[in-house]
Structures are given as C-alpha cells and as structure tokens.
C-alpha cells in the first residue's frame, strides 16, 4: 500500500511540474519579452530600415509592447520620419521633379492617377508608404509627416504624453494655422492651440520632443498677439487693433481662466486700452518679451 501511495505521489508531482511549465510557457507567450522586442526594433532603426517597416513592426506588436516601450517605438518612428523628411523635400523641390509635379491637380497626385512621369509617381508612392503626405502652399507641393495617421494607429496604445504630442502635431498637420502669410484658422481656434501646447509644456517639460511643441507654441502666440502680414492685428492704415482679435482676447480671458495665456491677455488688453487700441512701442515691446525664449 505504501508503495502504491508513493507511486501515486510521484505521478502527481510529475503532472504538477508539467502544468507549471505550461503555465510559465503560456505566460511567456502572453507577455512577450520586452527587452527582446525593443532590441529588435532598435536594430531595425540602426540598419536604416524604412519607416513603413518600423510602423509595421509597431502595428504587429502594439498589444504586446508595454506602454513605456510603445512610447519609445513611436518616438523612434517619428524621429526617423523627421530625419528623412529632408530627403523627400530635396527630391520634390529639384527642378526635374518640381516643375512637372506642380502642373498636376492635387487629387491626381494624391490618388497616383494620370501621372505621366514614372519618377514622380514612384517618389509619391514611396513617400506615402513611409508615412508622409502631400501638402500645398503658395502654389507649391511639399511633403510632410502624417501625424494624424500615427496618432490614429498608435496613440491609443501610447502614454498620455506621447498621445498628447501626436494630437498637437496632428492638429497642425491636418489644418495649418497659416498659409501665404495669413491666418487660415480663427483667432479663437488659435487660442485653443496655444493653451493645449501651454498645458503640454507645463505637464511634460522633459519630453524628448518638447522643443517642437515649444516652437509651435511660439508661432501661435506671436500670430495671436500680432496677427500675420496678410491678417494683421493692427490695421495698416489706421494702426488700430481689429475688433476680431480684441473680441477673441476677451473670449479667451473668460473661457481659459487660470491659464498663462489668459493672464497674459489681461495685461495685453489693458495695455491696448491704454493706447486706445493703437500700435505703440510699448505694445510691441510687450509682445517681444512675451514671445522671447519660448
């Protein structure tokens, strides 16, 4: 009897050991080795793999990557796209490409149809597949990063920090705040972008790509306080501030209480009122100080 019990005990131990091994294996499958994944990805970057392959790797592993490593992967993708953007710009702005390129309709270029030059078609196809899109300004086509696609594809798997960065960049990529030296969004929308950038800078001052957010914050703030050449704050003839801007300043003060922008606008509107809303050296100096070092 003792021998039988001993045999049963040995069999049970073997079975339990097997089960434990299976659970460990299953657990390993459910939780991929993070170091291995991110090392594989870094090797791809080091080997100068195209951005489309990096994006495909992230897509394939987006549920397996930890949030921290997803952040690293997305930032790596963005940095590669930013570094290689100039190559596409140089090609598109070369005379042999630029002249015929700008003769086509935007829709035809976007859909890669009715394009006679194979070189142009191949260049656009390559750019689109690597996460760039085609934009136009002052009658010229140029490539830029499609941040909206990155945000939609990976923002939900990244941290609030990386998703917030992508959201800020996508807003500008989807609808530029200015074109041909004129505002193409409303002053109120411009104020919203300033506040969003302001909050991001305050929340994540050490973010690796923070300088880009700061740069856009400065562009937006300068344009909001002074307008642009073709949509200036001060009328060129009367040198008096336009009501559309003044009204927006008042809206922002009321709707964005507690933000740095609202506090700045309280000082600014008081100064404008002091000079009967006409351009002055003191006003211009105030703007210079407000936008310096941003």
Identify the pLDDT of residue 253. Answer: 98
Q: Is 242 exposed, middle or buried (0-12, 13-18, 19+ CB in 10 A)?
A: middle
| 34 contacts 69 by C-beta, under 8 angstroms | yes
Tally of structural domains, the chain: 2
Least confident segment among 125-129, 249-253, 290-294: 290-294
Q: Are residues 187 and 280 in the same domain?
A: yes
Q: Answer yes or no: is 2 within a domain.
A: no
Q: Comparing C-alpha atoms, which of 142, 131, 138 is closest to residue 94?
A: 142
Q: Are residues 154 and 200 in the same domain?
A: no
Q: Are residues 122 and 219 in the same domain?
A: no
Q: Comparing C-alpha atoms, which of 85, 127, 90, 91 is closest to residue 110?
A: 127
Q: How far apart are the first and last CA of the chain?
A: 85
Identify the pLDDT of residue 31. Answer: 59
Q: Are residues 186 and 114 in the same domain?
A: no
Q: Answer yes or no: is 145 within a domain.
A: yes
Q: Answer yes or no: is 254 within a domain.
A: yes
Q: For 47-97, how does the pLDDT look when each residue is reduced to its tens digit (9 = 90+)?
A: 999 999 999 999 999 999 999 999 999 999 999 999 999 999 999 999 999
Domain's final residue, options 98, 128, 160: 160
Q: Answer yes or no: is 25 within a domain.
A: no
For residue 24, give Cα distances in angstroms to 21, 27, 32, 34, 145.
5, 5, 12, 16, 42
Q: Are residues 48 and 127 in the same domain?
A: yes
Structural domain harbouring 135:
35-160
Q: Are residues 156 and 190 in the same domain?
A: no
Q: Answer yes or no: is 193 within a domain.
A: yes
Q: For 134-188, how does the pLDDT look when each residue is reduced to its tens digit (9 = 90+)?
A: 999 888 999 999 999 999 999 999 999 999 999 999 999 999 999 989 999 999 9
Q: Are residues 200 and 281 in the same domain?
A: yes
Q: Answer yes or no: is 262 within a domain.
A: yes
Q: Answer yes or no: is 95 within a domain.
A: yes
Q: Are residues 192 and 154 in the same domain?
A: no
Query: How many Å apart are CA 290 and CA 197, to the nearest integer?
Result: 15
Q: Answer yes or no: is 167 within a domain.
A: no
Q: For 226-277, how does the pLDDT look when each residue is reduced to its tens digit (9 = 90+)?
A: 999 999 999 999 999 999 999 999 999 999 999 999 999 999 999 999 999 9
Q: What is the pTM of this model?
A: 0.86
Domain's final residue, options 110, 127, 160: 160
Q: Are residues 225 and 268 in the same domain?
A: yes
Identify the pLDDT of residue 137. Answer: 85
Q: Are residues 150 and 246 in the same domain?
A: no
Domain's final residue, options 110, 128, 160: 160
Q: For 95-113, how does the pLDDT look when each residue is reduced to its tens digit (9 = 90+)?
A: 999 999 999 999 999 999 9
> Stretch 198-207: mean pLDDT, rounded?
98
Q: Are residues 88 and 143 in the same domain?
A: yes
Query: How many Å apart are CA 157 and CA 163, to the nearest integer?
Result: 8
Q: Are residues 94 and 134 in the same domain?
A: yes
């Amino acid at each position: 009897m003792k021998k039988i019990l001993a045999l049963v005990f040995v069999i049970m131990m073997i079975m339990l050991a097997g089960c434990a091994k299976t659970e460990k294996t299953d657990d390993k499958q459910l939780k991929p080795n993070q170091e291995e994944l991110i090392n594989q990805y870094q090797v791809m970057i080091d080997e100068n793999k195209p951005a489309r392959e990096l994006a495909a790797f992230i897509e394939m592993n987006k549920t397996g990557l930890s949030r921290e490593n997803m952040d690293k992967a997305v930032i790596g993708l963005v940095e590669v796209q930013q570094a290689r953007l100039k190559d596409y710009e140089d090609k598109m702005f070369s005379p042999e490409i630029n002249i015929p390129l700008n003769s086509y309709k935007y829709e035809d270029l976007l859909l890669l149809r009715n394009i006679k030059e194979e070189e142009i078609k191949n260049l656009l196809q390559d750019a689109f597949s690597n996460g760039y899109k085609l934009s136009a300004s002052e009658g010229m086509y140029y490539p830029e990063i499609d941040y909206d696609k990155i945000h939609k594809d990976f923002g939900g798997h990244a941290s609030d920090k990386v998703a917030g960065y992508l959201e800020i960049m996508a807003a500008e990529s989807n609808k530029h705040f200015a074109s041909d030296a004129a505002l193409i969004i409303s002053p109120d929308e411009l104020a919203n972008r300033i506040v969003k950038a302001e909050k991001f800078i305050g929340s994540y001052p050490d973010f690796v790509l923070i300088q880009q957010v700061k740069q856009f914050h400065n562009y937006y703030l300068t344009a909001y306080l002074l307008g642009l050449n073709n949509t200036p704050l001060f009328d060129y003839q009367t040198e008096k501030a336009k009501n559309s801007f003044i009204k927006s300043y008042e809206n922002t003060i009321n709707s964005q209480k507690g933000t740095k922008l609202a506090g700045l606008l309280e000082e600014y509107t008081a100064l404008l009122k002091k000079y009967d809303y006409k351009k002055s050296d003191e006003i211009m100096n105030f703007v210079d100080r407000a936008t310096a070092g941003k």
